[in-house]
Amino acid sequence: MTVFFTSDTHFGDPRILRIDRRPFPDLPTHDAALVEAWNAVVSPEDTVWHLGDFALGPPPERVAALLAALHGRKHLIVGNNDGPATLSAPGWASVAHYAETEVEGRRLVLCHYAFRTWNGLGRGAINLHGHSHGRLKPIPRQYDVGIDAQGPAPVTLDRILVSRRGRAGQAPGRTEAAGVTERPQDGSQANSIAPEPAEGSVKKRGRSRQDVSEPSA
């Protein structure tokens, strides 16, 4: 069993294509691509921690269908855009606003929001979060696991911890094997979450890193 992390899928949310410039022509294509990317790396026996903003807009039956289509044992850390349809959807192994866990001997503090300080920071604990859509300036032992920061597929802790390093010389992980590109969090190269973005399709955002508006807020 492998443990994965992701956040801010925003299934069914029409704002996401405009605000975060996700390179899909419409929401059905966006949602189908995220499901495909997820299932390309996650097996039914794996565990996935989704750190919030799973879906916004679809009716309860659509949210339930999306959740059922995704592989793995799924835990939800509630985001500000997770409404009753998401919170009550069958298929979550747990639903909470905050969690602490240990993966591969590392203590993790999980929340939708990035913390300035967190429990166990001085003893090496790592804060994993979503919400900011890759726009926050990185700080030590804190990582945005959202798809706008890490790519459309859930990622392992090992992948998260090397996500700020250069890719040169690294063997491709399961995400690359699935034909999905990832984006580092240091802002040095804002790669698209599409496999082959069109030239010029990636533009620098005009907002500051701290100016996080809906659906990020």
Residues 42-60 pLDDT 10s:
999 999 999 999 999 999 9
Is pLDDT of 216 > 80?
Answer: no
**Residue 4 in 3-state DSSP?**
strand
CA 135/CA 92 separation, integer angstroms: 28
**What is the arithmetic mean of pLDDT over 60-73?**
97
Own/partner pairs, 187-196, CB within 8 angstroms, 24+ separation: 187/137, 190/134, 192/23, 193/22, 193/23, 193/147, 193/148, 193/151, 193/152, 194/23, 194/24, 194/33
The enclosing domain of 16 has a CATH number of: 3.60.21.10
Q: Give Cα 38 distance to the centre of its chain.
A: 10
Question: Domain range holding 91?
Answer: 3-177
Q: Is residue 209 part of a domain?
A: no
Are the CB atoms for 6 and 154 separated by under 8 Å?
A: yes
What digits encode the pLDDT tens for the residues 97-114? 999 999 999 999 999 999
Specify the number of domains making up the chain.
1
DSSP 11: B
**Residue 3 in 3-state DSSP?**
strand
What digits encode the pLDDT tens for the residues 116-160? 999 999 999 999 999 999 889 989 999 999 999 999 999 999 999
- For the chain, percent helix, then strand, then coil, each to nearest 5? 25, 20, 60
| Closest to 148 in 3D by CA, of 47, 68, 30 | 30
**pTM given for the model:** 0.77
| Closest to 193 in 3D by CA, of 14, 15, 12, 16 | 16
Tell me the CB-side half-sphere exposure of residue 68, using CA atoms within 13 A.
8
Are the CB atoms for 53 and 130 separated by under 8 Å?
A: yes
pLDDT band for 21, please (50, 70, 90 cuts): confident
Distances (CA, A) of 183 to 23, 110, 197, 203: 14, 21, 13, 14
Q: Is residue 60 part of a domain?
A: yes
Q: Is residue 9 part of a domain?
A: yes
Q: Is residue 211 part of a domain?
A: no
Q: Is residue 206 part of a domain?
A: no
Alpha helices in the chain (DSSP H): 15-19, 27-41, 60-69, 84-87, 147-150, 157-161, 174-177
Structure tokens at 204: 């620098």
pLDDT band for 19, please (50, 70, 90 cuts): confident
Q: Is residue 183 part of a domain?
A: no
Side chain identity at 17, as an amino acid letter? L
**What is the arithmetic mean of pLDDT over 206-211?**
39
